[in-house]
Structure 1
Amino acid sequence: MAVITQFVVVREGVEKMTFTSKKEADAYDKMLDVVDSLVPFLSASELNLDENTCEQLAFYLATNKDELGNLLKGVVKPKSIVEPKPKKKTVKQD
């Protein structure tokens, strides 16, 4: 018989995720703390986001917090944004 140690992240009595390492569980729990902080921040904006969209955006930002931090510092360009290709100049022939 095998013994398996699991770490379960529980929020408000609801099981959110199960991990096999404490480090991963702690990181996920910390990310959920960031989400909980971002939701009221985003809700207070003038963007008129519905609750579901606001939570999804908060989760996305928290999941990508390192890249977001660098973007806000002006350190790197986002990987997901592709720079537009320069338009070819056409020569009109008479």
Structure 2
Amino acid sequence: MAVVIQYVVVRKGIEKMTFTSKQEADAYDKLLDSAEVLAELLEQAPVELSEEDREQLGLFLATEKEQVLAAFKGKVAPKPSKGKKEST
């Protein structure tokens, strides 16, 4: 019998993702932290967004961090990560 260590990222009591590496789990948890902060910022936007839309946009922006940072610097950003859809 094999012993498998798993790291589970849980948010609001909901299991989000399971990893076999603590480093990967920590990185994903940090991504979710960033997405949450961005969603809170979007709540202050001058446009009406539903909570789900804010969460999805926050996650998208956090996932595409390199492109967002490049855009703020006025630089050409790397290609976006296509097909990356995670639920929060």
For normalisation by structure 2, the TM-score amounts to 0.82
Computed over aligned residues only, the root mean square deviation of the Cα atoms, in angstroms, reads 1.4
Match of 1:87? Answer: none
Pair 56,22 (structure 1): closer, same or farther in 2 beyond 3 Å: same
1:1-94 maps to which residues of 2 (within 5 A)?
1-77=1-77, 79=79
Consecutive unaligned residues in structure 1, runs of 5 or more: 81-94
Structure 2 CA distance for aligned equivalents of residues 77 and 67 of structure 1? 5
> Over residues 35-66 of structure 1, what are the superposed CA-to-partner deviations in whole Å (9 max), with x where a residue is unaligned?
11111110110121111111111110001111
- Displacement of 1:12: 2.2
Q: Taking structure 1 as reference, are residues 18 and 37 closer, same or farther at Cα in structure 2, changes over 3 Å only?
A: same
Secondary structure, counterpart of 2:49 in structure 1: coil
Contact 1:9 1:15 in 2 (8 A): yes
Instruction: Name segments (4+ residues, structure 1) moved above 6 Å.
Output: none
Q: Between the two structures, name the one with larger relative contact order (CA 8 Å, sep ≥ 6).
A: 2
Q: How many residues align?
A: 80
Identical aligned pairs, as a percentage? 52
The structure with the larger Rg is 1
Q: Which residue of 2 aligns with 1:91?
A: none
Distance in 2 of aligned mates of 1:49 and 1:39: 10
Alpha-carbon separation, structure 2, partners of 1:29 and 1:22 = 10
**TM-score, with structure 1 as normaliser:** 0.77
